[in-house]
Amino acid sequence: MTESFYMIMALLRKEMLTIFKDPSSRALLIVPPIIQAFLFGYVATFDLKEVNYAFNDRCHCEASRELRAEINGSGFFVEKPVSGGNSMDSYIDAMNREEILVIVSVDENFEKKVKNRGDAKVQVLLDGRNSTTAGTAGGYLSQIVSRFSEKKGFMNAPFSLEYRPLYNLNSITRWNILPALIATLSLIQVIMLSALSVARERERGTFEQLLVTPLTQMQILAGKAIPPIIVGLGQSSFILLVALFWFKVPFSGNILSLYFGLLLFTCACVGYGLSISAFAANMQQAMLYAFVLLVPLALLSGLMTPIANMPDVWQYMTWLNPLRYAIDFARRVYLEGAAIPELWYDLLPLALISMITLSFAGWMFRHHVV
Amino acid sequence: MRGFLRRLRALTVKEFRQLFRDRSNLLLGIGLPIILIFIFGYGITFDITGIKLGVVNMSGSEISRKLTSGVSGAPIFRVIRYTGVQEAEQDFVNQKIEGYLVFRNDFEREYRKGNGKIQFMMDGKDPNRAQTAYMYLTSALGGAISKDPGTPRVGITAETRMWFNQPASSTWYIVPGLVVLIMTLVGTFLTALVMAREYERGTLEAIFVSPVRPVEIIIGKIIPYFCVGILGFALCLLAARELFDVPIRCSILLLSLVSMLYLVVALAIGLLISAVTRNQFVASQLSVLVTFLPCIMLSGFIFDLRNTPEVILYIGHLLPSTYYMETLKTLFLAGDVHSVILKNSLILTLYAVGFTGITMMITRKRLD
């Protein structure tokens, strides 16, 4: 037993050295996840910051001036002067040049309609080149206009909607993305690292040497799997720290539960990575296969769009995707404080994927397909 | 000059052979674009649909029934009815529904007084989804009673029109972004990988000692991958037009010219990465890190850079893909807006010249 332990330790030491010996590859495993966590934490938001808009006032009346003040006072919309004078044409030119996102326009008889309790319309023109931003801006404007309508003495509907968001009370999109990044950012490098570790040895012919040592298949598997698992968990920890202490996303769950899920997830990733190397004749092929696998794994994971929004066929395919479970798990533990027994539907598939892929990879060490 | 062309032809032929010999290259060059087209065209949408919403109607009045049917009539919601709050809560906790509405016992009485209250609970993990649900709910509820006599007409209303993207479909802005992603991946990743392999194995030295010049080596390397990139571009364009009905409101010639320009930039970045690292492992990690996620996250593909803090906006504008992204969205959806295209093309040209120049300097230095 102790002998077997020392054998694995020796192999582990060698594997860790190949990963961390070269300063540039060492830096590549540590720096990028941290930088990415910062950048993506800031960029991954659908919350509007400030929207440049133009107010095309053809009424020049009290009502239009008040509406304009209301919009400017909302804090979301900033009026931006455009070149070429105050005409609809020059506003549209400015929109084409992406200088403004919205044109709000009221026509000549706006005042009269407001006074006579008529059907007063405010035209809102949105730049749909990013329809998500435009849709949100449009929604805010509708709310501002209906508030204005109330203010001008129009009666409101006889009911009101009392909205209470649960789990993310401040409605910050960043809170949704950061727990997901904890898993996503480590996925990429863990898969590449494990896919390369065997492929590199095969390319150089040293893998055969490893196979003739007294190490058993299980021991080689452990030696190949543990270093990327450590790297992955380390990367996840960096991102977790950024989420906790820089973005101050409050952690509601148990840290050990989170790490338990992440461990299973990283095992599944390593399983995929090592399995890829069975199909690759050299490093270049291993990289390409890993990459072609990575892209759908990262995109069809619920990171950016909920899986429930995808067509059924795609939803079934995501059952094979470890990241899908990890993201759900991380969000539920991080944001909702869920405990492990509640999350069996994430953990069980991760355990299954890990078992299947890792045993396949171990078997493949001797039964190489290429 | 004749010698130049002869040597270049020989090199290009060699590179093409090398490219075709390995199936994995074609998997990335052709397979990956097809996978991406399907993922982004069919799998990913930012249009919010199918919100599973519970309705607890404890009031049982005509008005609450009318409001409920108004909500279930909105295509964005899938309504599940409950008789008690507990059941709805249970399903909510088990994630069977994403939110629920509650009409209390006294809803009708309060409604007649003009202040009926409907409680709306929603999972806020995805605030964008919750916010959209809220907005659609308001308009569905308002619409349900708008024809009732005695309901006040809502006075001043906003009439919204989505310019450039009338159906407000996210596919329309995703597909141009997809072109950018594919060109970046094929251009940078594939080139970096292949070149780094040559450096690592020392096969480049073999070419260096032959009479070819560094410029010829680089051009010879670029041409086959340039063709692969153009193939990916053509596939995307075809898919945009035939599968996704995304309008292409610009001249195809202009679109192709800008794309070729960007492809040169992407290839040059790949060459630069491999020339600097000279190591397959580092080159592959580095090229994935600078292409895949930044292209998706930082170039304005999915997340609008206008909503990010100033610093991130500037960092995003360090990436050549940001300029290409801006240009493509404008070209596809708005048409030939010359001021945008000219500015961005100029910047891309500078990047192309800069990256190629640095790469050639490094290659030459290593040769000495």
- Determine the pLDDT at residue A333: 93
Average pLDDT of chain A is: 87
Q: Mutation test of the interface with chain B: which of A287, A297, A369, choosing the one with the most B Cβ atoms within 10 A?
A: A287
A169 pLDDT more than 70: no
- Determine the pLDDT at residue B267: 92
Q: Mutation test of the interface with chain A: which of B19, B45, B163, B341, choosing the one with the most A Cβ atoms within 10 A?
A: B163
Q: What is the separation, in whole angstroms, between the first and last Cα of chain B?
A: 23
Alpha carbon distance B297, B319 (integer Å): 11
Mark yes or no for CB contact B116/A158 under 8 Å.
yes
Of A113-122, A359-368, B246-255, highest mean pLDDT: B246-255
- Determine the pLDDT at residue B349: 96
pLDDT, tens only, A284-326: 889 889 988 998 999 899 887 778 778 888 889 999 999 999 9
Mark yes or no for CB contact B141/A44 under 8 Å.
no
- Tell me whether B159 touches chain A (CB under 8 Å): yes
In CATH, which superfamily holds the domain spanning B51-145?
A: abc type-2 transporter like domain (3.40.1710.10)
- Tell me whether A288 touches chain B (CB under 8 Å): yes
Residue boundaries of the structural domains of chain B: 10-44+169-367, 51-145
- Determine the pLDDT at residue B368: 44
* Segment A87-93 mean pLDDT: 88
- Tell me whether B308 touches chain A (CB under 8 Å): yes
pLDDT, tens only, B221-239: 888 889 988 988 999 899 8
Mark yes or no for CB contact A154/B122 under 8 Å.
no
- Percent of chain A whose predicted confidence (pLDDT) is above 70: 96
- Determine the pLDDT at residue A369: 53
Contacts of B45 in chain A (CB under 8 A): 305, 309-310
Mark yes or no for CB contact A125/B124 under 8 Å.
no
Size of interface A-B (CB pairs under 8 A): 343
Domains delineated in chain A? 2-44+172-364 (no CATH), 51-151 (3.40.1710.10)
- Tell me whether B318 touches chain A (CB under 8 Å): no
Q: How many other β-carbons are positioned within 10 Å of the β-carbon of residue B236? A: 27
- Determine the pLDDT at residue B93: 82
Burial of A45 (0-12, 13-18, 19+ CB in 10 A): buried
B22 pLDDT more than 90: no
Continuous segment of H or E residues that includes residue B99: strand B99-103
- Tell me whether A147 touches chain B (CB under 8 Å): no
**Amino acid identity, position A20:** F
* Segment B41-69 mean pLDDT: 85
* Segment B308-316 mean pLDDT: 87
Measure B3 CA to nearest chain A CA, in Å. Answer: 33
Mark yes or no for CB contact A287/B193 under 8 Å.
yes
Span of A51-65, A233-247, A258-272 with lowest mean pLDDT:
A51-65
Measure B220 CA to nearest chain A CA, in Å. Answer: 20
A364 pLDDT more than 70: yes
Mark yes or no for CB contact B161/A123 under 8 Å.
yes
Contacts of A158 in chain B (CB under 8 A): 111-116, 145, 151-152
Q: Are A224 and A197 in contact (CB under 8 A)?
A: yes
Average pLDDT of chain B is: 85
Alpha carbon distance A156, A228 (integer Å): 60
Measure B21 CA to nearest chain A CA, in Å. Answer: 12
* Segment A98-117 mean pLDDT: 86
* Segment B342-349 mean pLDDT: 95
- Determine the pLDDT at residue B346: 96
- Tell me whether B274 touches chain A (CB under 8 Å): no
Picking from A46, A124, A189, the nearest residue to B159 by CB comes out as: A124
Mark yes or no for CB contact A134/B168 under 8 Å.
yes
B367 pLDDT more than 60: no
- Determine the pLDDT at residue B306: 83
Q: Name A163's bridge partners.
A: B120
Mark yes or no for CB contact A158/B49 under 8 Å.
no
Picking from A145, A164, A299, the nearest residue to B121 by CB comes out as: A164
* Segment A344-349 mean pLDDT: 94
**Amino acid identity, position B73:** G
Half-sphere exposure of B193 (CA within 13 A, CB side): 28
- Percent of chain A whose predicted confidence (pLDDT) is above 90: 31
**Of A267, A273, A268, A266, residue with least CA distance to A235:** A266
* Segment B117-145 mean pLDDT: 82
Span of A122-126, B60-64, B273-277 with lowest mean pLDDT:
B60-64
pLDDT, tens only, B149-163: 665 555 677 777 877
Q: What is the largest CA-CA distance in chain A?
A: 94
Alpha carbon distance B334, A98 (integer Å): 10
Q: Name B79's bridge partners.
A: B53
- Determine the pLDDT at residue B152: 56
Alpha carbon distance A55, A58 (integer Å): 9
A356 pLDDT more than 90: yes
Q: How confident is the model at residue A156 (pLDDT cuts 50, 70, 90)?
A: low
Window B:200-259, CB contacts with A under 8 Å: none
**Of A357, A355, A359, A362, residue with least CA distance to A215:** A362
- Determine the pLDDT at residue A25: 80
Half-sphere exposure of A126 (CA within 13 A, CB side): 26
Q: How confident is the model at residue A245 (pLDDT cuts 50, 70, 90)?
A: very high
What are A267's two structure tokens? 């095992």
Which ipTM was obtained for this model?
Answer: 0.83
Picking from B40, B117, B162, the nearest residue to A126 by CB comes out as: B162
- Determine the pLDDT at residue A241: 95
- Percent of chain B whose predicted confidence (pLDDT) is above 90: 19
Mark yes or no for CB contact A169/B124 under 8 Å.
yes
A47 pLDDT more than 80: no
Q: Mutation test of the interface with chain B: which of A91, A284, A303, A327, choosing the one with the most B Cβ atoms within 10 A?
A: A284
pLDDT, tens only, A67-77: 999 999 988 89
- Determine the pLDDT at residue B270: 93
**Of B88, B131, B123, residue with least CA distance to A165:** B123
Q: Are B15 and B223 in contact (CB under 8 A)?
A: yes
- Tell me whether B147 touches chain A (CB under 8 Å): no
Q: Are B172 and B113 in contact (CB under 8 A)?
A: no
